[in-house]
Structure formats: C-alpha cells, structure tokens
A and B are shown apart, each in its own frame.
Chain A
Amino acid sequence: MKVGHTDVLVIGGGLAGLRCAIGARRRGLEVRILSLVPAKRSHSVAAQGGMQASLGNTVRGAGDNEDLHFEDTVRGSDWGCDQLVARMFTHMAPKAVRELAAWGVPWNRVERGSAEAIINGQRVILTERDEAHGLITARDFGGTRKWRTCYTSDGTGHTMLYALGDRAVAESIPVDERCEAIALIHDGGRCQGAVVRDLVSGELSAWLASATVIATGGYGRIYGVSTNAIINEGIGAAIALETGVARLGNMEAVQFHPTAIVPAGILVTEGCRGDGGVLRDVDGHRFMPDYEPEKAELASRDVVSRRMAEHMRRGKGVKGDGPEHLWLDITGLGAAHIDRKLREVRDICHHFLGIDPAREWIPVRPTQHYSMGGIRTDHRGESPTLRGLFACGEAACWDLHGFNRLGGNSVAETVVAGMLVGEYVADHVRDEGSAIRLSPALARAFIAREQAALEAILARPAEEDAHAIRRAMEATMTEQVGLFRDEAGLATAVETLTGLLARAGRIGTRNKRRDANPELVLAWRLPKMLKLALVAAEGALARRESRGAHCREDYPARNDRDWLKRTLVSWQADGPHFEYEPIEVEAMELPPGFRGYGTRNIIEHPGTAARLGDTEAQRAALAGAGRDAVQAALLPFEALLPERYRGRNARLGEVGQ
C-alpha cells in the first residue's frame, strides 16, 4: 500500500483548486493536486459569460465599487449569505481579475469612442471615455446595478482555467490526473489526507497531508438535466459528509439557469441577455417585462427561471417533439456582435441545434445549473468541525451566495477563494504543522476499508441495475426537488431517495475488472450521490419558506423570523442529522429587506428593525467620513484578510484620491 506525504493535498484542479494550490506553493509548501481529469478539462472551462469585479472602467460601470457589488450580492442571496464573506469577496474580486490579466487572461478591453448597444430592447449609443481605453471592460448581467462582468468573449472560464493551469505548471505543482479521492482519512477530529483511487489502474493509495483542501465543484449531476459537466457528481462533498464529522451547508439551495438549450441542457450564457437578448413565448411575445417591468430579462436568475416556468404553466410555452420550452432571441444583436462576443453560443447553436442564432431563435428552458450548498467552512475555508479540512469554490459553503448566486459571481468566487484559502492553509501549516501527527497506520486502515468495500461490489451479483437507480434519482430530483417545491412532493422525494439508497447497496457489476472499469466507478459513486440527493431533499422539506432559488409553493413568504438560518447536515450511522445555525441580523451591514421582485412577501425577523435603525444611525454619525470609514464601522473585515491583500483597489475615477 502506497502512502505518500505532502504539506497540502488539493482535491480538484478547477479554478478554485488551482489558485489555492498556487498560493500555498508560493508560500513554500509542498502541494499536490488530484483531479478526475486533466486540470484544464475541469468543469470551470465551460464558464462562458464572465467574472464579476467592480473595476468600473466601462461607462456603464462607472461609479461602481465594492459597496455596490456587496449589496447586489447580498440581495441576490436573498439575505442568506454570510455578509462578512461577501465583504471579503467583493474587496478581493478586482485584485483577482487584475492578477489574471497579468497572468495572461486576454480580458476584452474598453474601446474609446461611441458604439451601438442594446439595452432593454432599445438601441442606444454608448460613448466610452478616452482614459478608459485599453482597460478591462465589462458587460451587463442579471441582478447587478452596474455593468460589472469582465469577460473574454464567451469563453471566460476557458481563458481563466488555462492561465491558472499553466501557472500551476510554472510553479511545478504536480497534478495527479485521473485520480479520484474516494475517502477522507481522519481521526474524528482532524483530517489527515485522502484515500485515492487511480482511475486507470484501479489501484488505491493514500496521501497524508497537514491540510486537505476540497475543491471538487458542484453536485449538479444528481439532477437529470443539468448544464454541469458530467463529472460534477459531488463526490468531494459526499466524502466530507461521510466522515460524519464535517458538515454540509444549505444543500437544498440549488440554482436553475434560465437559458439552457432544449433538449441537451447545454448552457447559453446570461451574457446573451446581458448584451441585449430577450425571451419570447409561443406567440413571439416578449413576456418578461409583463412580470418584472423594471429588470425584465435581467432580473436575478432565480426570478427569471420561475417567471419562465410560470409563463409555460399558463400555456405560453412552445410544445413540440421534445420538452416544452421558450425562445431566447439574440437576433437583434447582429451577426458581427455574435461572432465576436458570443461565439461559443454561436458554435453550440450550430453544432447541437443546427441553427444560426443571428437569424433564428434559440429554444431554451430553466435547467439545473449551480450548487450554492457545499462543505460548510468558516471565512478561512476551514471546516469548523473537522480540523485540517478546507474547502473552496463551488464545493464549499463559506457562504457567499446564500440561496441564489449572481451570474459572474462564481468564477470570481473560485479565484478569490483560492487566493484567500491558499494563504490561510499556508498559515495553518506554519502554525500547526509541526504539532500535527500524521498516521501512516491510520492511512493504511482507511485504504483497507475502502479496498474491502470495492471488492464487495465486485463480488456481489448484479441484483440491482445502477443505471435504473440513477435515472430514478435524477427524475425525482428534477420533478420534486426542482424549481417549484411543496410538502407532498418533497416528502415523496425523501421516501423515494431513501429506498434508492438502500437498493444502491445491492448494485453489482457485470464485468469484474479492477482497472478502467466504468461500471465499478458508477456502482461506487451512486450511493454517495444518493446521499447528497437525500440531504438536499430533506433540507428542502424542512425549510418551510421561500428564499432565493428555494421556492416552496406552500410557503411562498420569505420567513426571516423562523428561517434566517443556515441548514447544516452531518451523516451519522442512522442517516442524516440536521442542525441550524443562525444568520445574525445584529451583525449585518445590510439588514434584511425587499429584493424588489414581484410583490413584497416577507415575515420580518424581530431584530431587523433595530439593526436597520442602528446602521442608519451609524451612517448618519459618520456622514462625510468617506465610504471606507462607514463600511469599517458597520462590518469590519480588513483584519481578517491576509496582509498582502489588504490594500485599497484603485479605480479610474478615484486614482490619486
């Protein structure tokens, strides 16, 4: 049994894992990355539309700053996020974009002078400032008050991932490709590394590490139709859950993106609407302004998705051979714009639909897209219950997004979290490293346990068919734990998933090969995926309110009085255990309010009015003191940042101030 040692083990080679590894490596630590696939093929590569950062270079972004980005993020989360984390994040995002620019991401740049754009269906002329020429530009995205989303055409994730992937090579960080972490090694209090299965040879080994970072992305593939890469099966979150010690947070918070193509479920970016595209129904009518007169297609994602579903329920969907859908119309943008700024969209339409989006409408419907929930950590990325276990990126719930993530905030989060957690991990190893006792005997025991479990699968007869169970799970999640939820559906879902989990223990394989065996991989992963599905469904059943993407038709109000709290779940011998952690109103810089969509339907928290009065009084007392001083009084965060990242972000208008 091979047992290796490293300072830091990073599980996941997407944006978050790579950036975290680079940070720890630069602090002089030995770092190793594991990935199911070559790092540059990670799901991050598929991000299209862009990355939010309040640079304020483009004229429609002028005046933007951390405060506005923070407020948009908190509103977007439906007040479910951790505002401290949101503050750290919005402070870091401009640095992250600028670092990536230096490392080679060819962000689209501001072009001085006048050019035509489409805003809310109207043609307008925008004139860019001379002094902004050549700086990083931005496009409009849903739920933001400024044009803040930086991009490289619609291949943003690709350029970011390649820049970081190559930077990791430059830093000589080894990446073990086609290697799956299948269990965390821990002693009940501290994580000591992971058991790893080589997906080619089938062999097991282990890495012992002073710090283990899970950056394995989302769990979208527990749903039948998802925009996610097919490897986004949530195994990283599942192995954390299976420790019984680490907790997952808000697993019921699942986002549906308004525009995935039908039937394949491949995403076309929010940038389509940001750049002026509109949604149309079976009659060709642009319906979003009827529901959301102000923000229309650029309302927050959860809102647009629900409005689309609502409109289809009213019989306005397009019915054909495949699933019912609506239309995304970007013909108004013109071929030239599409060729330059939406070329992936053009290619996707061409290859998968056989249409030219410059001339034809794109069939779309809301589709599972993003996992707000994940491994619960503190603002440093560490599990509060399992020391030495860190998480960042989509796999984590340090809780930037609460119950709804804004478009463009995820790739920004991955890199920001990577930058921060890389530093905190390095601090952790520096401060505690010498005292940590890593146990090769423990590692061997864990390898033996996992080996026995794998052998058991190979040894048993194929009583249950993995594909049938998987399809039943996917259908249950899509139908009953989807865009709209209610007590009856969720209760049925919990029952179904519990039954499937029991059956999954009887899955066998037809071929008994240990190496490169796709059947064994599925038989192995499916029970883990079912556990995630079950905790998401149970969490949703328990949460009797509607918040962000979690929409209970039987409890339509956002209930701050009873539900301003985060769901935590751990897996015990008898199944999932739920706990709740309050989101403190008293500590909020932006107390709970109305997001401005539909009609106001909020059951107030008893502390909201007082905190509102308090923050207003503090603002009044500090009138004229400058926004930084006001902010620091309301929610101090600077001291929590690594020292190297505490500087103010320069902006065009503010240069020299």
Chain B
Amino acid sequence: MTAEARGIVAIIEPADGPAGALTAEVLGVARRLGNDLNEPVTAVVLGETVAEVGPLWEFGADKVIRVVHPLLAEFNLDAALGALEPLIRRENPNVVLMAHTFQGRALGPALAFRLQTGVATDCVDLRPGAGGGSLVLTRSILGGNFRAEVVIDTRPQIVTLRPKAFPPAEPTPGRTGTVEEFRPEPDPVRVRQEVRRRIQEAAAEGVRLEDARIVVAGGRGLGGPENWHLVEELASALGAAVGASRAVTDAGWVPTSLQIGLTGKTISPDLYIAVGISGAVQHMAGVSAAKTIVAINKDPDATIFRYARFGVVGDAKQILPALTREIKKALGKA
C-alpha cells in the first residue's frame, strides 16, 4: 500500500524573488490549506537564484527545498520536470501549488502528466473538500462567462493559481523553519530543449504592468498603431503603465508583453483606464482585481461599460488628448 499523500508543496517563481507578490500569494494559499488540513507546507525553489529563504518561512513555509542543478539557472521545462519528478515522488504531497504564470502554464500540466495525476489550471478560488476529501477548485471557463467547480481524484492535486486572485500571505516576522538542498540528476536524454536566448521586450525601466497602481490600456478602437501615442501620452501624464488588448498585440502594434487578460497578464491597479476596448470576458479576466475601471468607448452598448465605474461614450482620438491635458493641469504638470 502506498503511504497517504500528505503536505502542501508551493513551487516558487524564481523571477519573482523570495518576497515577491506571487510568492506571497502562493504561500498564502499553501499556509491556509496547511492550517485547514493540518499538513506541513514546503516551498520548493528551482535553481539558486533565490538566495534568501527567510521570507519563505515568514510567509508560512515550514520547510524550504532548494533544487540545485546548473540546468535550472533559468526555466527549462524538460530540466524542471526531470528535477521535480523525483522530488515530488519522494515528498508524496497531497497538493502542489504554483502561480499561473508563463512558467506555471507550461509546468503545471506537464508535471501532472509526468506524475500521472490531475491538474486544475488558472484557478480563481479553492477550498478544502468536505471531510478532508479532494479540494474544490474554482476555474473560469468560456473565457470567464462561467465558473466550474472541479475536483482532482488523483494525488498530488496539482493546481495553478491565477495571479492576483488570492490574498497574499501576511509575513510573520521571525518565523523560521528548515531548509535543505535537493540535487537532482535529470536524465540528459530527456532534456531535449534548450533556451538559447531570452529577448526582453517589456521596457526594463518604469513600473511593471503587474505592479502598477494606474494602468492605461488601448484596444482595437484606437484605429491603428499611428494613434498609439495617445495612450502613451495619457499614461505618462498619469505616471501609469501601458497595457493592451489582445487585438492590439496580435496585430503587432505593441509587444505581446503588454497584453492584459486570460492569456496575457493579470493586473490589480487602483485605476484602470480602458480605451477602445470592447470588454470581452477574456480581456476582463486580467483586470478583475482592478479597483476602479474607467472605460472610453464610442459604442454606448459596449460590454466594457458593464464593468466600468466611470464611462465616457466618445471617440478615443478626441477624448484622449483632452484628458491628457486635463490630467497634466490637475497634477500641475502643464
């Protein structure tokens, strides 16, 4: 008989750092589950980029496992699978959590199939099942028009969590735990992909879209790349980050790294200004954590107004320059 699967494993996103927002969210969920199910929480860190483990303990990890191998210096799916498969088999956890980032999108399903278990991707909510049974996992389907509550009958239950959908862990200063190293030997024959280069397209300076307090985003309604400067000017007057709908990134007006939504980034600004964006559910999936939405759209029946706190019906090409001027005036920049 196999031993009962026990424990919550949280896979930490190396790029996010030990005290990053995603780390706090994933460990927040892990800690709450650990408390509810009375199971230990283990944070797994791929590679050596995360030097400090203190914040992981403070966010709720009882144990930190650093997985050390030269191939894990940056995310390589084959190497990550080769490293995590033996580790997860050894740990035999009940639940494996990770953020639904571009790493989690690749790793979650692949790890599940490698371990012959089930996975629920992009979950927006979860709770322990009745009587300690499988977790009840809430996913959005049909872009966000519907929600599904699903359960995973196999172990471990692998879950990718939508960024910004869960409250971050509150650090407990001085909380400590244990730390160990795991040195995997991924089968070189199964490492058949190699990351040759990383090309950064998002601006290296300025606020990251994910962290911005104010975001101005443009959609197809801008009419063409020649009008994109109107979005940038408003953003710069506000000190905001710039985002886009998929229609715009798909058309190549701006890089994919600006895409907000189900298959792009999840943001949580205090103020989100959507210009010429229709408000498709897949776009809104990325902004459900925004506190206040302002929509500018020439169609009074546009779906975006269903989500907006403030709406302006009008032509973006006329409204934006006037709004930029007013903002500059108001903020004393004119």
- Check if A and B associate: no
